[in-house]
Amino acid sequence: MTPAWPSELAMHECAKHAIANYFSSGQIVGLGSGSTMAAFVGQLTELPLKSSIRFITTSLQIEIEAEKAGLEITDVSKSKVVDIVFDGADQIDSNYNMIKGGGGALLNEKLLISAANKVVILADFTKYVERFTRSIPIEIHKSGRSIIQNKLEKLGGRAELRVSRNGYPYFTENGNLILDTLFSFIEDPIQMEVELKHIPGIFEVGLFSRGDVYYKIKKDGSFEVIQPGKG
Burial of 25 (C-beta count, 10 Å sphere; 0-12/13-18/19+): exposed
Strand partners, 186: none
Q: Of 142, 126, 131, 147, whose CA–CA distance to 192 is shortest?
A: 131
Q: Which of 63, 65, 109, 193 is catalytic?
A: 109
3-class secondary structure, 89: coil
Q: Of 127, 87, 135, whose CA–CA distance to 110 is shortest?
A: 87
Q: Is 224 known to be catalytic?
A: no
Is 101 within 8 Å of 177 (Cβ atoms)?
Answer: no
Q: Of 79, 78, 102, 100, whose CA–CA distance to 89 is shortest?
A: 100
Give the strand pairing for 136-140 and 223-226: unpaired
Euclidean distance between CA atoms 56 and 76, whole angstroms: 6
Which residues are tagged catalytic?
A: 109
